Structure 1
């Protein structure tokens, strides 16, 4: 159990380190990012400002990032249990581990972006989002077509390199993210076609709704306060992050259902 867990951890660590190198080397400083409070609707109430430290300007948008790490740790523990009981294979456990280590890494990265409001941390936050979504495609293809190290390498390399679109277009990140979301849905659909099970229906629908909420609520962040001042306290950006955390949870549930279906099919074949 421990070797595959460590291998997954190193996979995410090395990939993140490569992205960090290019970000802090300055090669992507021309990329457009949204920095400054003007890009966020959340404003701490006067009462909170009297008790919170000055650097905590958006408390909810900051605290929500603990959700990524907590959820990632939870699913790492769940899969460690399943793997330890030989309920899933090493390859399947590796796919789960990588995805959830990404969640554990993403929370602190997003939090540092919010707290520092620095351009390079905003770049890092955007960039690491892309392989996160690409892994859903890789995961789905692994279930539908079998594991391929070459496919994983090519998909990861294309995902990381797609961020170069930000050097040519102000909406380069949005273009890349949209393509990644479509690929993720396609990968999930391929996996479901191979190992269809009713237990995957609800998680798939909930993941799609959460993904939609993640995108739409983020886009509406600055517009929602026009509807009601409540959305300057509980902002669209904060709610989009709640939807994002839920998306990760339901993606895990979806792939767990398909993985168990795969194990059942393989067991029946061997009997």
Structure 2
């Protein structure tokens, strides 16, 4: 149990460390990012400004990042328990661990970007998003075609290197992210085709709705205040992050349903 968790932790730590080194070495400084309050709709109310520290300019957009840590930690605990009870295979536990450790890592990274508002932190925030989505594709292929170290390594390497598109195009990150979202959906679809259980179908629909809200609300962030001033306090960006956190939760539920179905069928065969 513990060695699998340590292996997953090292997987995420090493890949994140590589990205951090490349970002803070300065090789990606010419990537276009959006920094400054003008790119966010949230404005703290005058009352809150009197009690909040000056560096906390967007309280909701900052605090929502704890959601990634909470959801990631919850699912890590679930898998730790189920793996200990031998209700889940080690390779399946590994895939769950990697995904949710990524969630726990992403929360603080996004929080630092919001609070410190630095160009390199914005690059880091964008870059670590890509392997997060790619892991859903790897996970889906693991369910439908069993685990492959080579496939996981190649997919991760392609995912990490795809961020170089941002060096050549202002919308390079958006292009790479769009391709990653499509791949994640494809991987999930094929895994569901292999084990079509109702619970997985429901979770897939909820995850897709959350993913859509994540994308749409983020794009509408600066436009929503034109509809109502409420969205200056509770911004589209904040709401999109809630959708993102829920997307992680339902992705876990989706793969849990598939994993349970797969395990049950393998037990019957044995």
Q: For this structure pair, what is the TM-score category when the shorter chain's length is used for normalisation?
A: over 0.9
Structure 1 residues not aligned, in runs of 5+? none
- TM-score w.r.t. the length of structure 2 is 1.00
Q: Which residue of 2 aligns with 1:195?
A: 195
Q: What does 1:202-221 align with in structure 2 at a 5 Å threshold?
A: 202-221=202-221
Give 1:203 deviation, angstroms.
Answer: 0.6
Q: What does 1:14-53 align with in structure 2 at a 5 Å threshold?
A: 14-53=14-53
1:182 and 2:182 matched: yes
1:7 and 2:7 matched: yes
Distance of 1:266 and 1:26 partners within structure 2:
49
Distance of 1:199 and 1:251 partners within structure 2:
12
- Stretches of 4+ moved more than 2 A in 1? none
Q: Which residue of 1 aligns with 2:159?
A: 159
Distance of 1:135 and 1:80 partners within structure 2:
19
Q: What is the CA RMSD across the aligned residues, in angstroms?
A: 0.4
Q: Which residue of 2 aligns with 1:226?
A: 226
Could you list the per-position Cα deviations for residues 41-74 of structure 1 after superposition, in whole angstroms to 9, with x for gaps in the alignment? Answer: 0000000000000000000000000000111000
Give 1:240 deviation, angstroms.
Answer: 0.3
SS at the partner of 1:243? Answer: helix
SS at the partner of 1:139? Answer: helix
Q: Which residue of 1 aligns with 2:256?
A: 256
Q: Which residue of 1 aligns with 2:135?
A: 135
Distance of 2:136 and 2:222 partners within structure 1:
30
Q: Which residue of 2 aligns with 1:150?
A: 150
Give 1:199 deviation, angstroms.
Answer: 1.3
Q: Which residue of 2 aligns with 1:269?
A: 269
Structure 2 residues not aligned, in runs of 5+? none
Q: Which residue of 1 aligns with 2:126?
A: 126
Q: Which residue of 2 aligns with 1:91?
A: 91
SS at the partner of 2:8? Answer: helix
SS at the partner of 1:133? Answer: helix
Distance of 1:152 and 1:141 partners within structure 2:
9
Give 1:201 deviation, angstroms.
Answer: 1.4
Q: Which residue of 2 aligns with 1:65?
A: 65
Could you list the per-position Cα deviations for residues 161-216 of structure 1 after superposition, in whole angstroms to 9, with x for gaps in the alignment? Answer: 00000001000000000000000000000100111111111110000000000000
Give 1:33 deviation, angstroms.
Answer: 0.5
SS at the partner of 2:26? Answer: coil
Could you list the per-position Cα deviations for residues 128-186 of structure 1 after superposition, in whole angstroms to 9, with x for gaps in the alignment? Answer: 00000000000000010110000000000000000000001000000000000000000
SS at the partner of 1:196? Answer: coil
